[in-house]
Structure formats: C-alpha cells, structure tokens
C-alpha cells in the first residue's frame, strides 16, 4: 500500500506531486508528506491525515517551490500514523530523501548496525533505516547514489517501490522495485515517478513499468537507465504507450468514485465481454483459454486464490464452474493457501483473481503454485500488474480504473469474465447443450441493460437506507449463487459504513445467527425466483416469526416475498448463474447510501486501502 509520486523536470514539482498524491490516496491515507528541492534546501513537509491536510500545511509553510520533488501518502505498517513517521524520510546528513511503499523486514538488525556507526533515528519506520543504509554505503564506498542504492537493496529483505534523490545531484532520481508497483512517466525533458500512471496521465502517455528486482536511474537530459538490482546488469527500458485517459480517473460529476463506479457497471460489463462474446457466431473467443485449453480440460481440479471482494467473485465462480464444467473447484483465501502447506500438483489449474494484480498474498500464492508445477491463470483488472505478469496466462477484466476503496465494478466484471471462461470450457468439454449455451450468450449480452434497470431503483434504495442507517447490525442471507452475494453485501456495508454485518448461507441461519434476530435486526435476503426460491421463502418466514425486519432482493413481479417483507428491491429475471450480476447492485447502493447518511468517507474508509501490497 502507500502511494508514491515524484517529479523531475523544469516545472514546479509541487502541484504535480500534490495532485498525484490525491489520485493515489486510494492506496493509503493516514498521513502524507512531500520534499522539494529548490536549488538551496531540501524542504520537507509531513503531516498526519490526508493529502488535503498536507496541502494546507505545505502552503502555510511556503513549501511549494522546486523542480524536483517526492511525495507520499501512507498506510501505516511500521510506526503509528503521525507527522514523524510520515514519508519522505531524510538521511542523517539531510542530503538524501526517500519515499517507500512496502516493508523492509530486516530493518531491525540493519538499524542496530547503523546505530553502532553513529546514526540516529527520529521515526519508528523501516524506511528511515533504508535511507541511512544507502547514505552509509555511499559514504563508506565512495560510490554514486545509484550504486549505493543497488548495494543497499541487496542487503535488505522485504518489498519496496522506492524513489531517492540526493540534493547535491538534483538532476537525478533513483528508483527501484520489488513487490510493489512503480511506473516512470517519460515526458519531454521531464520525468514522473508514481505507484501507477494516474498522477501523470495528463502530461505523458509514455511509461516504463519496472519489473521486480529492477532499478532505474532517471536523469534529466538522458534516457532512463534500467538495471538489475542483483548483479547491476543493464536491461533495455521498455517504454509503453498508455491507454488510460483522464476521464477514467476523475469523478465526472458524481459525489464519490464509488457511486461513479457503481453506475459504470453496465458499461464495464460490456467492456469485459466485448470481442469475446460472439453471440452471432455462437462462440466465446478467449485467446488465454484457447492457447491453454488442454491444461484446463485435463485438470484434476481448479484452485481459485484471491482476497477480499475478489475472493467472493471466486466463490461465485466455484458454483458456475462446478455447475457447467463439472471440474472440482476449491476457493482459497490466498493468505491461508500460501502458508498452510497445501497439496498442489501439476494437474492443478490455479486461477488468481485480483483487481489490482498487486495483492501480496495472492502474488505469493501463485508463486507457490508455480513452484509446485501448477498452471496459473490470472484474472486481473490492472494491465501489466504483477499478478498478470507472474501468471502463465490470463485474461483482463477491462473494467477501467477502480478508485473507490470498496470494490464494485471489479466484482461484477470478474464474475462476467469467470462466467465466460466457464461457458467456454463447458462448450469445449461438451458439457453444455447448444441451446443452453446460446441462451447463456444471449442472456449475458442482455445483462448490461438489466443492470441499468436495477440502477433505476437508486431512490428507492436510498429511502430504505434512511430507515436503517442507524442500526448497529445487519444480516445478509442468500443461497446457491447468491450466498457469495450475501457475503459481498455484508462486506460492503462493514467497509464503508462501519456497521457490523454478517453474510450467511440462508439455511445456516438456524445454526447460529437466528439467535441475533429481534425487532431491531434488518435482514437482507436475496430471494430471486431462480435459486431455491421456496427454501428462501421458508427462511424469511423464520425471520418474520422472530420479528426481524426483511429487505428482500426479489425478481420483478414477485408477490410472495413482497407480502412478507418490509421492503423489496426488484431485479429483472435472468439465468440463475448470472443472477449475482444483478442482485449485487442494490447491495452496493444500500451500503453506499447508508455510509453517506452516516457521514462516512465512502471512497476512503478508515484503516483500509485499495491495494494491499503487504501480507
């Protein structure tokens, strides 16, 4: 987590770095800082809080000039979020400044050694240790900054994306990456450094994405020099042209990114199946699957690894894969999988699902799977991300940038993509009739319009939100394909409104959660016509008899649940396997409106970060 931004060029760095940090706040937002060099002094400004607090402080202290600058927005790992622990950190001499996204695991032993050599430390961070290690090597070995960084990084254990400058050489920034993302924007006579391309997209479309264990010397008037950290060997710098545009990373009139992203879903789902779903030809085209068809068809099982919302998409995929393809599927939390000595064989296909493509646990899980001979297929949103690159093959969801910390369109597009994969495999394996396959394709194509229709219930959902916004607990129930949706609905509410919520399989309610039900407890029940409807209706009766409040997510025209529920939200009818794409939408809106009504920071909920690059 943490967002890093740097600028080196002829313009004032301050506005570029601040704006860049605002765009990266999704990566962490408990403290922020900036360092600028104006030819005389390296001026540092740091504060607990958000980038807007940093802006206020920097402007009141006149720290706004200089054409080389580094900025950081933090999600604390080592040391509580406060002014001192915020980045950037300076070396003891004050010559070197560093920003860092990641963790240096062996910082304790390095710190002790440096203390013996007379270094003092002001913060509790691992990063301050790293910058002093670099300084120590630079002085001891009498080497240039780049070389000192390379030697230092060979001594550290952990993960990092760093940018360092030396104020005695203000035409150069040294950057390096292992495990955390780092992009270098290459402009006309200027360079940008950032955790992703969003801070520099209005200045340049050309970017270099460093690979793990690479570093780069970014110097004015020179091409970027990329080197391998291990052996200092030079590597060709690959400059790629970005497809991103500014509209995709701005709110475009919406109050929050989350709301914008909820409303983008019809479009995003279309973008996911565009070119792949070929209804007229009666086929699904996916090169990543076609090229590796044998791997999938001969697999003993599919293991899905993911975290958070992506794990919920994995659960939906389990249902659809087992239902349509008849391949056994296991869905694992990546963080458990990587440490529990799982049985993995070369007959396993591992699907890693990740919006960011950077989640540390998911990345580690696929590395483990690869070591054990499994075939790894990545389902990512962010193009060129670490998980996408680490996988043997994969497919992108093409949902566009997701900035709201609570994931919305990433979830529905992951389900869309995984459904396409399942359908393609089912067809290749001869497990689905031509008629059923065609029905699925047609229905998939109709989903964006149906999602659009569900979005029309926004005002109604807003009203329901006003009724329940002050309750302390919520329960979400669903069966079959809608059980993972119940989990996702509860997660969304917890994440952004801080109301305690639990998602449960509807029938399991009687084994525990039913004890919680009284007249205060709202229970969101997903009770669509296809999907064990009668059984869910019985569960609703059980809640009713205990005076619980019912919010039903029902199929258009439903009468039975309507007669029992306090409120219902209708969704159009579709094939059972695709219902999560519709039933999820009202749950996203419900959590959004409740959070707004409770004055919560919807896009940046406390303690969370969009991209979790630490374990």
Residues with catalytic function: 2, 610
Sequence-distant (≥ 6) Cβ neighbours of residue 293 within 8 angstroms: 428
Which of 47, 198, 359, 613 is close enough to bind ligand G6P by CB under 6 A? Answer: 359
539 binds ligand G6P (CB under 6 A): no
Q: Given the complex with ligand G6P, which of 532 and 610 has the nearer CB atom?
A: 610
Q: Does 127 bind ligand G6P (CB under 6 A)?
A: no
Whichever of 313 and 432 has its CB closer to ligand G6P, that residue is: 313
User: Which of the stretches 66-74, 356-364, 506-514, 537-545 binds ligand G6P when contact is defined by CB under 6 A?
Assistant: 356-364
Closest to ligand G6P by CB, 161 or 543 = 161
Please report how close the Cβ of residue 391 comes to ligand G6P at its closest, in angstroms: 13
CB atoms within 10 A of CB 612: 20
Q: Does 356 bind ligand G6P (CB under 6 A)?
A: yes
b/e per residue 354-377 (b: at least 16 CB within 10 A)? bbbbbbbbbbbbbebbbeeebbbb
The residue range among 58-66, 77-85, 303-311, 446-454 that interacts with ligand G6P, by the rule CB under 6 A, is: 303-311
310 forms part of the interface with ligand G6P (CB under 6 A): yes
Task: Determine the 3-state secondary structure of 354 from DSSP.
Answer: strand
Region of 119-127, 169-177, 184-192, 349-357 interacting with ligand G6P (CB under 6 A)? 349-357
416 binds ligand G6P (CB under 6 A): no
d(CA 142, CA 312): 53
Tokens of 560: 């039975």
Q: What's the CA gap between 172 and 170, in Å, rounded?
A: 6
User: The tokens of 402 are what?
Assistant: 């997701």
Tell how far CA 50 is from the center of its chain.
Answer: 20
321 vs 326: CA distance, rounded Å: 6
For residue 549, what are its two tokens?
A: 């409040």
Nearer to ligand G6P, 262 or 307 (CB): 307
Q: Which helix (H) or strand (E) holds 269?
A: helix 265-273
- Cα of first residue to Cα of last residue in the chain, in angstroms, is 10
Q: Is 412 in the site for ligand G6P (CB under 6 A)?
A: no
Least separation in angstroms between residue 411's CB and ligand G6P is: 8
* Longest CA span, the chain: 80
Closest Cα to residue 316, out of 432, 488, 137, 90?
488
Choose between 43 and 50: whose C-beta lies nearer to ligand G6P. 50
Q: Quick check: 405 binds ligand G6P (CB under 6 A)?
A: yes
Q: What is the Cα–Cα distance from 227 to 219, expressed in whole angstroms?
A: 14
Of 218 and 496, CB closest to ligand G6P: 496
Pairwise CA distance, residues 375 & 379, whole Å? 13
| Cβ at position 207, least distance to ligand G6P in Å | 20
Q: What is the CA radius of gyration of the chain?
A: 25
Min. distance of Cβ 612 from ligand G6P in angstroms?
5
CB of 360 to ligand G6P, least distance (A): 9
DSSP for 279-299 reads TTTTEE--HHHHTTHHHHHT-
Nearest distance from residue 156's CB to ligand G6P, in Å?
25
Q: Which stretch binds ligand G6P (CB under 6 A): 32-40, 116-124, 305-313, 501-509?
A: 305-313
Out of 73, 101, 407, 584, point to the residue binding ligand G6P (CB under 6 A): 407
Rule CB under 6 A: say whether 307 interacts with ligand G6P: yes
Q: Residue 407 in contact with residue 382, Cβ under 8 Å?
A: no
Least distance in angstroms from the C-beta of 423 to ligand G6P: 23
- Residue 466: CB atoms within 10 A of its CB come to 12
Binding span for ligand G6P by CB under 6 A among 195-203, 209-217, 531-539, 604-612: 604-612
Binding window for ligand G6P (CB under 6 A); candidates: 286-294, 354-362, 561-569, 573-581? 354-362
Are 200 and 192 in contact by the 8 Å Cβ rule? The answer is: yes
Does 408 engage in binding with ligand G6P (CB under 6 A)?
no
User: Which segments within 38-157 are labelled E, that is strand?
Assistant: 42-48, 68-74, 89-90, 96-104
Q: Which is nearer to ligand G6P, 43 or 177 (CB)?
A: 177
Which residue, 364 or 543, has its beta carbon nearer to ligand G6P?
364
Question: Is the distance from CB of 569 to CB of 583 less than 8 angstroms?
Answer: no
- State the nearest-atom distance from the C-beta of 406 to ligand G6P, in Å: 6
Closest residue to ligand G6P in the complex (CB): 308
Distances 482 to 90, 119, 416, 532 between C-alpha atoms, Å: 51, 57, 15, 10
Q: Which window, 79-87, 301-309, 509-517, 588-596, contacts ligand G6P (CB under 6 A)?
A: 301-309
Tell me: does residue 308 bind ligand G6P (CB under 6 A).
yes
- The span of 145-153, 208-216, 242-250, 308-316 binding ligand G6P (CB under 6 A) equals 308-316
Residue 278 vs residues 14, 274, 281, 447, 448: alpha-carbon distances, Å? 49, 8, 6, 15, 16
Count the alpha carbons within 13 Å of 442 in the hemisphere toward its beta carbon.
6
The answer to whether 309 contacts ligand G6P (rule: CB under 6 A) is: yes
Distances (CA, A) of 207 to 182, 195, 225: 10, 12, 13
Nearest in space to 97 (alpha carbons), one of 85, 108, 109, 88:
88
Residue 143, SS3? coil
* Dist CA 195 CA 383 (whole Å): 14
Q: Does 612 bind ligand G6P (CB under 6 A)?
A: yes
The two tokens of residue 147 are: 């070389």
Closest approach of ligand G6P to the CB of residue 385, in Å: 8
Pick 35 or 405: Cβ nearer ligand G6P: 405
Work out how close the CB of 427 gets to ligand G6P at its nearest, in angstroms, rounded to a whole number: 28
Among 27, 57, 409, 610, binds ligand G6P (CB under 6 A): 610
Q: In this structure, how many other beta carbons lie within 10 angstroms of the beta carbon of residue 439? A: 13
Tell me if residue 305 falls in helix, strand or coil.
strand
26 or 273: whose CB is closer to ligand G6P?
26
Choosing from 180, 198, 355, 427, the residue that interacts with ligand G6P (CB under 6 A) is 355
Instruction: Tell me the three state secondary structure of residue 203.
Output: coil
Q: Is 386 among the residues that bind ligand G6P (CB under 6 A)? A: no
Binding test (CB under 6 A) with ligand G6P, winner from 362, 408, 528, 539: 362
Whichever of 127 and 310 has its CB closer to ligand G6P, that residue is: 310
Q: Which of 156, 217, 524, 608 binds ligand G6P (CB under 6 A)?
A: 608
By beta-carbon proximity to ligand G6P, the closer residue of 358 and 558 is: 358
Name the DSSP letter for residue 179.
B
Interface residues with ligand G6P (CB under 6 A) are: 307-310, 354-356, 359, 362, 405, 407, 608, 610-612
């Amino acid at each position: 987590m943490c967002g890093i931004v740097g600028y080196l060029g002829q313009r004032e760095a301050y506005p570029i770095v601040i704006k860049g940090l605002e765009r990266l706040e999704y990566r962490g937002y408990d403290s922020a800082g900036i360092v600028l060099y104006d030819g005389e002094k390296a001026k540092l400004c740091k504060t607990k809080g958000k980038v807007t607090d940093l802006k206020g402080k920097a402007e009141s202290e006149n720290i706004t000039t200089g054409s080389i600058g580094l900025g950081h927005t933090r999600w604390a790992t080592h040391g509580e979020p406060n002014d001192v622990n915020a980045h950037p950190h300076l070396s003891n001499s004050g010559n070197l400044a560093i920003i860092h996204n990641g963790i240096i695991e062996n910082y304790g032993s390095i710190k002790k050694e440096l203390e013996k050599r007379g270094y003092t430390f002001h913060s509790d961070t691992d990063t301050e240790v790293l910058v002093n290690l670099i300084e120590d090597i630079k002085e001891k070995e009498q080497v240039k900054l780049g070389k000192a960084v390379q030697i230092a990084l060979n001594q550290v254990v952990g993960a990092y994306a760093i940018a360092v400058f030396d104020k005695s050489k203000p035409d150069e920034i040294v950057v390096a990456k292992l495990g955390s993302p780092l992009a270098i924007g290459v402009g006309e006579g200027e360079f940008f450094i950032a955790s992703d391309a969003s801070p520099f997209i209005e200045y340049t479309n050309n970017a270099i994405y460093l690979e793990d264990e690479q570093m780069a010397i970014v110097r004015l008037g020179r091409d970027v020099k990329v080197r391998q950290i291990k052996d200092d060997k030079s590597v060709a710098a690959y400059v790629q042209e970005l497809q991103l545009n500014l509209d995709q990373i701005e709110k475009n009139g919406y109050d929050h990114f989350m709301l914008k992203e909820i409303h983008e879903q019809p479009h995003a789902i279309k973008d996911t199946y565009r070119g792949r779903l070929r209804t007229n030809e009666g086929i699904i085209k996916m090169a990543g699957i076609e090229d590796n068809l044998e791997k999938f068809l001969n697999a003993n099982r599919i293991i899905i690894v993911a975290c958070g919302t992506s794990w919920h998409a994995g659960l939906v995929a389990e249902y659809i894969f087992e239902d349509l393809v008849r391949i056994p599927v296991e869905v694992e939390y990546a963080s458990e999988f990587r440490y529990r000595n799982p049985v993995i064989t070369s007959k396993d296909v591992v699907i890693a699902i990740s919006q960011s493509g950077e989640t540390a646990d998911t990345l580690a899980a696929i590395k483990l799977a690869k070591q054990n001979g499994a075939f790894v297929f990545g389902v990512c949103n962010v193009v060129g991300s670490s998980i996408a690159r680490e996988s043997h093959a994969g497919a992108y969801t093409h949902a566009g940038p997701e900035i709201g910390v609570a994931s919305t369109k990433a979830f529905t597009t992951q389900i869309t993509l995984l459904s396409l994969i399942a359908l393609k495999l089912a067809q290749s394996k001869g497990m689905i009739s031509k008629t059923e396959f065609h029905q699925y394709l047609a229905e998939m194509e109709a989903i964006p319009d149906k999602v659009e229709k569900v979005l029309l219930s926004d005002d109604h959902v807003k009203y329901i939100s006003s009724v329940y916004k002050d309750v302390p607990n919520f329960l979400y129930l669903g069966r079959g394909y809608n059980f993972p949706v119940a989990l996702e609905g509860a997660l969304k509410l917890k994440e952004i409104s801080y109301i305690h919520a639990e998602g449960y399989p509807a029938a399991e309610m009687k084994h525990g959660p039913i004890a919680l039900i009284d007249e205060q407890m709202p229970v969101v029940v997903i009770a669509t016509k296809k999907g064990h409807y009668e059984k869910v209706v019985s569960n609703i009766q059980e809640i009713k008899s205990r005076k619980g409040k019912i919010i039903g997510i029902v199929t258009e025209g439903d009468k039975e649940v309507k007669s029992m529920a306090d409120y219902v939200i209708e969704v159009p009818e579709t094939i059972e396997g695709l219902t999560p794409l519709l039933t999820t939408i009202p749950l996203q809106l419900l959590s959004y409106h409740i959070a707004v009504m409770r004055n919560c920071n919807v896009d940046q909920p406390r303690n969370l970060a969009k991209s979790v690059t630490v374990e």
